[in-house]
């Protein structure tokens, strides 16, 4: 199959020394050999050539299968723009689909990777003309990734193939990935860390990719043991869930050499527990959907202070600034210059494309950067709450809670848990006679159904008297 795709060619080069029968991906849909997988890519490419016009944008519901990986690579081969969308959370998925179809209208081709079929987006909503067309975006645009951005507003981050390939090279080089590695990816293929740091970094290194359709902890640990996984990706919260299984397993059952963690800083207790359980050190990865990887605790994760999120990776520069001036060792906003910076935002709310001014990018974090390029975070730049790597707008969650009939007033806020961790908490004023425990369950389900799993407060405190002062400000003695 001829290709003008640098991403696809990079992966084929990595497989050059392996035969077509060697395993490429192992997942819930079985083991795909290199030969079978390349044929899958060819078949998807043929489907796109026949079904998609120049202005079409592909939307790919993602459950984490090898067929979905082939569908994404086929988009690169045929020069199509693709939007992998997480389909595991039904409420969040429906909202994302509606937002996307509203923007791109009848130019959306929905791809079902497992059946290798497609349908028009207008078959699922009232026919509408596009607000944004493919030709409005940069010519090099390849993949769209949903993000809250630094504003907490849902947006799409636009990346090129070149960005993906550069990300592959960074992960491969700093972690010394080889064809002998078996990389376990329970994170969604729709997210930057799972897609680039997991699946494509693995394929680009010629390693075997273990892609998990289910993030169930027992299934993931079973796959790690059965297939001899050497590297795993996860968030701190996910590793904490895995560690609850520790009594049933021995570290000697695993072959891990490294556990990569991203989304938020991992506390020292969790890192120590993971190392005892899985038998490998935890390496933190710091970055964002917009920038890709910025820093990591490489090459020796154990050599870093627990407060440090990592050393800047090759090709990247970072500094802390205050009002445009370098903070000179003091705390400031983290500003970076990266080779993987996204091209633009597509803003759902505004229905427009927001170009990246670049070349530098300001993170939503404050901290320090020392002379060796080590980044130490001090807190968030804004009031948005980092939940599983997604920035949740606490104001929006509060407004949504206030729409429930049981709620007279709601205030949602970040609660520091120590070691850099934060959770979402909610203070609810209600005059209803419903018992507190039952009300908490009802409100959690309400948020889960309407906003998605990441927007469910970890703690909900019910009070029976108003918690606001006459000025409308919160009485902080109620924030427990």
Instruction: Count the residues in the chain.
Output: 480
Q: Among 3.30.70.20, 3.40.50.12780, 3.80.10.10, 3.40.50.300, what is the CATH number of 6-377?
A: 3.40.50.12780
Question: Helix and strand tally (H, E) in the chain?
Answer: 12, 27
Task: State both tokens at 74.
Answer: 């086929």
Long-range contacts of 466-471 (CB under 8 A, 24+ apart): 466/408, 466/409, 466/429, 467/409, 467/411, 467/427, 467/429, 468/409
Q: How far apart are CA 288 and CA 344, in angstroms?
A: 14
**Residue ranges of the chain with per-residue pLDDT less than 50:** 127, 469-473, 476-480
Pairing verdict, β 108-112 and 81-86? unpaired
pLDDT at 57: 96
Do 81 and 142 meet the contact criterion of CB atoms below 8 Å apart? yes
Give the CATH H-level superfamily of domain 393-478: ANL, C-terminal domain (3.30.300.30)
pLDDT at 478: 47
| pTM of the predicted model as reported, rounded to 2 decimal places | 0.80
- C-beta neighbour count of 176 within 10 angstroms: 12
Domain ranges of the chain: 6-377, 393-478
6-377 and 393-478, same CATH topology: no
pLDDT at 29: 78
Q: In a 10 Å sphere around its CB, with 0-12 CB exposed, 13-18 middle and 19+ buried, how is residue 89 labelled? A: middle
Tens digit of each residue's pLDDT (9 = 90 or more) over 238-259: 888 888 888 877 778 899 999 9
Tens digit of each residue's pLDDT (9 = 90 or more) over 453-467: 889 999 999 998 878
Task: State both tokens at 294.
Answer: 């910025």
pLDDT at 4: 77
Find all residues with CB under 8 Å of 295, minimum gap 6, and list them. 285, 286, 287, 309, 310, 311, 312, 313, 316, 318, 373, 374, 375
DSSP-based three-state secondary structure for 404:
coil
Considering only CA atoms, which of 449, 462, 446, 480 is closest in space to residue 410? 462
């Amino acid at each position: 199959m001829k290709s003008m795709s640098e991403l696809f060619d990079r992966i084929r080069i990595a497989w050059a020394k392996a035969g077509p029968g060697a395993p490429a991906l192992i997942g819930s849909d079985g083991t795909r050999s290199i030969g079978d997988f390349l044929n899958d890519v060819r078949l998807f490419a043929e489907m796109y050539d026949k079904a998609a016009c120049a202005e079409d944008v592909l939307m790919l519901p993602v459950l984490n299968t090898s067929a979905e990986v082939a569908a994404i690579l086929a988009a690169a081969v045929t020069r199509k723009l693709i939007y992998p969308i997480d389909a595991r959370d039904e409420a969040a998925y429906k909202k994302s689909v509606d937002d996307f179809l509203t923007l791109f209208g009848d130019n959306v081709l929905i791809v079902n990777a497992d059946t290798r079929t497609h349908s028009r987006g207008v078959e699922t909503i009232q026919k509408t003309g596009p607000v944004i067309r493919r030709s409005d975006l940069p010519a090099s645009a390849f993949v769209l990734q949903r993000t809250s951005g630094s504003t907490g507003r849902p947006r799409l981050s636009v990346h090129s193939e070149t960005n993906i390939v550069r990300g592959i090279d960074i992960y491969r080089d700093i972690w010394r990935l080889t064809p002998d590695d078996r990389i376990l990816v329970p994170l969604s293929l729709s997210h930057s860390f799972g897609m680039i740091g997991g699946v494509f970094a693995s394929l680009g290194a010629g390693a075997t990719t273990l892609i998990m359709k289910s993030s169930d902890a027992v299934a993931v640990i079973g796959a790690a043991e059965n297939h001899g996984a050497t590297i795993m990706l996860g968030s701190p919260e996910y590793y904490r869930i895995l560690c609850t299984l520790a009594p049933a397993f021995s570290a000697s059952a695993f072959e891990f050499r490294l556990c990569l963690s991203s989304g938020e800083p991992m506390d020292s207790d969790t890192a120590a527990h993971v190392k005892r359980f899985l038998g490998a050190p935890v390496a933190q990865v710091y970055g964002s959907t917009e920038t890709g990887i910025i820093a990591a605790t490489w090459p020796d994760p154990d050599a870093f202070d627990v407060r440090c999120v990592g050393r800047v990776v090759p090709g990247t520069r970072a500094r802390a600034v205050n009002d445009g001036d370098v903070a000179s060792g003091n705390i400031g906003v983290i500003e970076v210059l990266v080779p993987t910076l996204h091209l633009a935002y597509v803003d759902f709310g505004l229905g427009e494309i927001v170009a990246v001014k670049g070349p530098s990018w300001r993170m939503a974090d404050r901290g320090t950067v020392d002379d060796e390029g080590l980044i130490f975070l001090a807190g968030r730049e804004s009031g948005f709450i980092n939940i599983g790597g997604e920035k949740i707008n606490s104001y929006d969650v509060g407004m949504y809670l206030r729409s429930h009939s049981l709620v007279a007033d709601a205030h949602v806020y970040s609660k520091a848990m120590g070691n850099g961790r934060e959770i979402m908490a909610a203070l609810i004023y209600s005059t209803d006679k419903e018992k507190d425990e039952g009300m908490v369950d009802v409100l959690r389900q309400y948020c889960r159904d309407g906003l998605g799993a990441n927007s469910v407060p970890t703690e909900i405190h019910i009070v029976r008297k108003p918690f606001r002062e006459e000025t409308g400000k919160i009485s902080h003695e109620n924030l427990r």
